Amino acid sequence: MQDPTSAELRRRAGALRRLARTIDGSSLHQLPARSGDDTWQGPTALAFMHELRHAQRTLDNAMHDLVASAIRLEHEAHELDLDAALA
Amino acid sequence: MSFLGYDPNRLQALRRAVHELVDEQTGIHSDDPLGREAAMLARNELAKIASWTVRIDQIVDCVFGSPYRPVSTGAGPNRASPYDATLVGIVRPWDPSWLLTLDPTTAFAADIETLGGELGTWLAHTDISNVVDDHERAAALTALFNRVAADPAAAEAFANALGPEGLSWQTTRLAGLLTAAPQQATTTTPTAGRFQDEAEMLDALARTVSTALSTGHVDGGVLLGSLIGSDAYAAISLVSRLTVPAAQLGELATSIWARASTLTEAGRGLEVLVPFDAPKTVDLLIALFAREPEAARIALTEMSDDAYVALLAQGDGEAIGRMLVNLIEPSLDQTKKSSSAAMVGRLLSTLDQSPGLRSPELVGFVGVIAGPWLPELVRVEDTSSGYPLVPIDLDGRSPEHVLRWLAENKDAARSLVVWMTAIGQTATARIGDAENSRAQFHHLGEIIGAAGEAIKEALVRHAQHRKDVFESLWGTGSSLLSNIVTAMDVFDGPVGIAANMALNWAFQEFGDKVLRERVFGIKPTAAVSRDQIARAVAFEVSMMSTVAMVFYMQLVEHGALPATVEPPPYPSGEEATRMDVDRYHNELAEWQKRQLAAGPTPLSQAQRDAIDRLGAAVDAETLGFVERMPIHQP
């Protein structure tokens, strides 16, 4: 299998960053403001808030993983470009 | 099964927002192996949250028979009360659009900090009088208060959510309800139960506020500022229940009184509703000071002159004196003694400048307690009578003035026993602290000894004043004896015990210190002249007859003897000097026999016992005391 080019790596990194931005911009993050004590209160409301916080943490972790992967790919692309320039 | 409260419009909006996540899921995918798992996890979470549309629909479309069954608020069975403290955070009595359903979910409970905030919000909007109408609701709210009060973070959240205005409103409501009949709080009628609930709720509110203030994150001046500015009676009702550092308590009390003392009678808010015989703002303030001497020390120092004069003018003299007794304990360290000296100095100076403030109780306090303990402050002249306002002088100056002053100011003389009893009660209450008790009574003995010096000198020099002396100063003693009689016959409590202890001290001081060395002018081992013995005997007969008369009067006053029983023998001044002890004893015995014989009104067995007891008391209190005097005949 042919090694990926630096351009290919940067394209993949870009796609991962776009996905990270999509997740970061999810309307799920606006739900806490809509589901506070002014909207409902009781065990069901607390359960919803509990699940919502878990979901937010999962989305945040996913977003950070995607950004980290993108940075790694961009670093590899930079290394390839550097090797090419030295050769 | 619990309850769920909700705003239908906002919940519909939430449902729409949740539903949008369904579309969002499709936009989250990745073909890249590095992004595939992250995308999948995010998509799953969105799907889970999106699935809540079903449960929200169940709530919004709640019908009878569904898990989220609609619930009505208000009175009646199977209804949730908006004033039920167990539903704090779920019902919103102030919001008409808020609906209520049953909630089948029970897995989650609000943490205590959240609950504290909810309670504060709820109270900020709920008229607490709706809660205290129902004992169970009141008990539930008090229990909730106590939970929040036990957690500093929860109490802080409570205070922040309730805010100064909310605290002022609720405290004023509770204090107002309590003024309706505060004295009923200790009785057991159904109505009294309600007042007990209100008192306990105010206690619980104070505990919660105290905890909030203890965090250091809540400014007491700000939180209580609105309350202090709106109603002094309500403010002192709450502040007197707080358990906060003395400095803070003193400052709050100063602020309350600074405001209360400047208000006119007509503008005193809740105080006008307080029953005539119930404690007013000034009474609650003084009671607080009596209970918290350190706070009193601060407040009485910081208080403006006008506020101080108002306190003396409006407060009960005896209560003020009791409060001050706590502040001048001889066991205080030097710093506090200096502070106490300054306070007593201020009191003397104020009384000197404002003769109208000189109630008998206050004058008695100053003369008997403050004067001897702080001799550097004595001799504030009472220009109206020409006699010292501070009658007791440890240097022994002007004993005749002391005697005449006390003879002419019977109320002040009687107040002597009030202070002696106050100290006795204090010492008895702290009986576990033996060293402190000894110090208290040593202090008391010194005072009585100093008084005794003046009394005996005047007795010897001015025999004609004896009757006046007995009626005034020995009248003071009669109050002590009265306490003993009462303790024997009616009560069994610290008053009787303290009075007995004080009396023993008085006799000890008179016997060993005053009589032996000063009255008779002899040393224990010295021979005495016939004249000295004659004076001693005369004094002894005088004392015996006085003790007998005092007991008689007290027995009649307390109903132990009918007034038809003739008084015991009471020789006059000249007669007393001629009468020897044996003769008086015989006359007293004859008197007893006459009373025990069938007279115009037959005596009951209890009354006959009282007459027997009178004779025994004379022996025990008079002869026993005289026998302790080491008089040696040549």
B195-215 tens-digit pLDDT: 678 888 899 999 999 999 999
Check whether residue B49 and residue B23 sit in a common domain. Answer: yes
Residues B503 and B560 in one domain: no
Q: How many CB pairs under 8 A join A and B?
A: 136
Per-residue model confidence as pLDDT tens digits over B524-543: 334 444 444 444 554 566 66
Q: What is the pLDDT of residue A19?
A: 95
What is the total count of domains within chain B? 4
**CA distance to partner chain B, nearest, from residue A4 (Å):** 13
Mark whether B83 and B146 lie in a shared domain: no
User: In this structure, is the dihedral angle defined by the CA atoms of residues B536, B539, B545 and B548, taken in order, positive or negative?
Assistant: negative
- pLDDT of B249 above 90: yes
Residue B8 burial (10 A CB sphere; 0-12, 13-18, 19+): middle
Same domain for B266 and B289, yes or no, is: yes
Please report whether residue B381 resides in a domain: yes
Identify the domain boundary among B453, B487, B519. B519
Chain A residue numbers with beta carbons less than 8 Å from the beta carbon of B4 are: 40-45
Look at residue B350 in the predicted model and tell me its pLDDT. Answer: 78
- Residue B28 near residue B20 (C-beta atoms within 8 A): no
When the pLDDT of each residue in chain B is averaged and rounded to a whole number, the result is: 68
In a domain, B349, yes or no: no
Q: Are residues B71 and B118 in the same domain?
A: no
Better-scored residue on pLDDT, B315 or B274: B315
Residue B287 and residue B152 share a domain: yes
B496 and B597, same structural domain?
no
> What span, in angstroms and rounded, lies between the C-alpha atoms of B70 and B98?
12
Residue B448 lies in a domain: yes
- Domain boundary among the residues B103, B130, B150 is at B103
Q: What element of type H or E holds B477?
A: helix B466-489
The answer to whether the Cβ–Cβ distance between A42 and B4 falls below 8 Å is yes
> CB distance B10–A15 less than 8 Å?
no
- Answer yes or no: is B137 within a domain: yes
B299 and B184 co-located in one domain: yes
- The reply to whether B537 and B601 lie within a common domain is yes
Looking at the structure, do residues B304 and B376 belong to the same domain, yes or no? no
**B582 is in which domain, residue-wise?**
532-634
Q: What is the pTM of this model?
A: 0.55
Q: Are residues B73 and B135 in the same domain?
A: no
What backbone torsions phi and psi does residue B597 show, to the nearest 5 degrees? -70, 160
Nearest residue of A to residue B67 by CA position? A44
- Look at A51 and B48 and tell me if their CB atoms are within 8 Å: yes
pLDDT digits (tens, 9 = 90+) for B256-314: 998 888 765 555 678 877 777 788 899 999 999 988 888 998 898 889 988 999 998 88
B1, B32, B55, B92, best to mutate vs chain A, most A CBs in 10 Å: B32
Share of chain B above pLDDT 90, in %: 20
Note the ipTM here: 0.94
Cβ of A41 within 8 Å of Cβ of B89? The answer is yes
The answer to whether the Cβ–Cβ distance between A19 and B17 falls below 8 Å is no
Interface test with chain A among B103, B115, B118, B125, by most A beta carbons within 10 Å: B103
The answer to whether residue B338 is domain-embedded is no
Q: Which tens digits make up the pLDDT trace of B318-363?
A: 778 767 766 765 455 666 666 666 676 677 677 767 767 766 566 6
Q: What is the pLDDT of residues B102-155, one digit of tens each?
A: 787 765 566 788 889 988 988 888 888 778 777 888 888 888 898 999 999 999
The answer as to whether B341 is a domain residue is no
Kindly state whether residues B67 and B128 are assigned to the same domain.
no
Mutate to test the interface with B, among A40, A51, A63, A66 (most CBs of B within 10 A): A40
Asked if B10 and A40 come within 8 Å (Cβ–Cβ), the reply is yes
- Interface touch B38/A63, C-beta < 8 Å: yes
Partner residue opposite A28 with nearest CB, options B35, B46, B104? B46
Neighbouring CB atoms inside 10 A of A76's CB total 16
What's phi and psi for B567, nearest 5 deg? -70, 155
- Under the banding of pLDDT at 50, 70 and 90, the label for residue B566 is confident
Q: How confident is the model at residue A66 (pLDDT cuts 50, 70, 90)?
A: very high
B442 in any annotated domain: yes
**Is A12–B103 a contact, with Cβ atoms under 8 angstroms apart?**
no
Measure A87 CA to nearest chain B CA, in Å.
Answer: 30
Give the pairing of strands B387-388 and B381-382.
antiparallel
What is residue B367's DSSP assignment?
Answer: I
Q: Do the chains contact at A54 and B45, CB–CB below 8 Å?
A: yes
* Distance, CA of B514 to CA of B520 (rounded, Å): 9
Residue of B613 and B365 predicted with greater confidence: B613
Look at residue B343 and tell me if it is in a domain: no
